[in-house]
Structure 1
């Protein structure tokens, strides 16, 4: 994907940066003067960016971050609410943009990772939870705060939160509006790993590279199977069988078996035509 296409996907604001290197797409919130608060335009951009990255054969993994040094994101830009959410119609339109951005992240068939430096509040936590894997720093803080604003958290976002931390902790997070520290976030499953604050960016990239070296058919298929189980779709229907059959005839499968028999590390990247 060339730079012109990336600029078109991001839009005019320039507050989301996208770069693709060696199979890894890095999507970075870049609005440090506003603590990387996510504007209406940025939510709309996410809804364009993720389907394009999902369709790009040069992208294996998507890594979501804040600008260097953090924070990940202060959440939705509340300063816009007086204008863009000033009435019911505006609030509905704004909510649709937020939901479309979140849904685009969740719907991405490729693995997504959130590397969270500093705090992820409101929409920042919402974006992080939309990703498959989450790592953060020891100083990170999380919270979903509609109770502080008189807003009801959307049903799809609540479903994702309950899926991630369970109903009991989802109630705590939504009803109190309190912030959770990194240890609590890891304990309840909101994040998978906590590292030193100055190691978050490196760890996120390391994890992305590790996943990029795996068999991508296995990662995409595994993610799809987990999603089906979560949503109670347990029948092995034609869609599931097609996933199995695609893997059995893939170059990655052939490389995995050959590497096992040869007692060597598989080179899945080469199997799918990557240098």
Structure 2
């Protein structure tokens, strides 16, 4: 098992990678239900960028300590870091960089959710590819109760995930909903009957046995289709397809099929 650290890291966001290549990022600020200080947003983005570049990492799970995923941005520091339009836009820029680091990571990202995942906490979960939640999960975006307009990027990811009508319901009401309404609205993908982290690891295992280049290419193409950029990026996206045909993993997949054994993919 390995860990990632750096001089710029906020220690309230940690990362450990296991022998299967699953990186576990934990938000560890339980006394504030894992509310995200600005420095924590910066660290989160940095971690995902570094995991994206690490060939040993095959999947990322994001979770929170102390029975909660994340209560979102730390409102207590807004007077210092988000007091006016200039600061607010800079804060949103940093948040967007972190969101895109999660969204564009070539490795599958899974949010393992217990307790609250609200506001910026829900935005972190929506940036992931999949959301696994247990019966304690409570989700919502109370931006309207704070007089805030949700960022364009976060609105896009929300609408992409749940559809425009449900996105409007979530944003206009500002309601915090339980697991049943979260499922109705499309905010979660799988319910965990027991340990949510165990359920997330089970899902991760479905991904880590497959070819990393195949997953990365399919994720890039699907994300481009979802955000409407695919028509202008056809050459780039088709390169993923061509590179897969020329990869060692493609040759290994064919050998494994012929030999009736599990493939041993290396990401090359």
Give the equivalent residue in structure 2 for 1:153: 150
Give the equivalent residue in structure 2 for 1:255: 252
Q: TM-score, normalised by structure 2?
A: 0.92
8 A contact 2:2–2:17 mirrored in 1:
no
8 A contact 1:75–1:125 mirrored in 2:
yes
Mapping 1:44-63, distance limit 5 Å: 44-63=42-61
8 A contact 1:9–1:48 mirrored in 2:
no
8 A contact 1:29–1:66 mirrored in 2:
yes
Structure 1 residue ranges without an equivalent (≥5):
none
Give the stretch that moved more between structures: 217-226 or 177-186: 177-186
Give the equivalent residue in structure 2 for 1:169: 166
Superimposed CA distance per residue, residues 191-247 of structure 1 (whole angstroms, 9 cap, x where no aligned partner):
110112x41011112222221111111111111111121133247832123111211
Give the equivalent residue in structure 1 for 2:225: 229
Distance between the aligned counterparts of 2:98 and 2:172, measured in 1?
24
Distance between the aligned counterparts of 1:250 and 1:100, measured in 2?
31
Give the equivalent residue in structure 1 for 2:40: 42
Tell me how many residue pairs correspond in the alignment.
Answer: 266
Give the equivalent residue in structure 2 for 1:178: 175
Q: TM-score, normalised by structure 1?
A: 0.90
Structure 2 residue ranges without an equivalent (≥5):
none
User: CA 1:87–1:235 in structure 2 vs 1: closer, same or farther (change >3 Å)?
Assistant: closer
Distance between the aligned counterparts of 1:236 and 1:87, measured in 2?
37
Which runs of 4 or more aligned residues in structure 1 lie more than 6 Å from their structure 2 counterparts after TM superposition?
A: none
SS of the counterpart of 2:132?
A: strand
The root-mean-square deviation of aligned C-alpha atoms, in Å, is 1.9
Mapping 1:182-221, distance limit 5 Å: 182-196=179-193, 198-221=194-217
Give the equivalent residue in structure 2 for 1:98: 95
1:10 offset after TM fit, Å? 5.7
Mapping 1:63-74, distance limit 5 Å: 63-67=61-65, 69-74=66-71
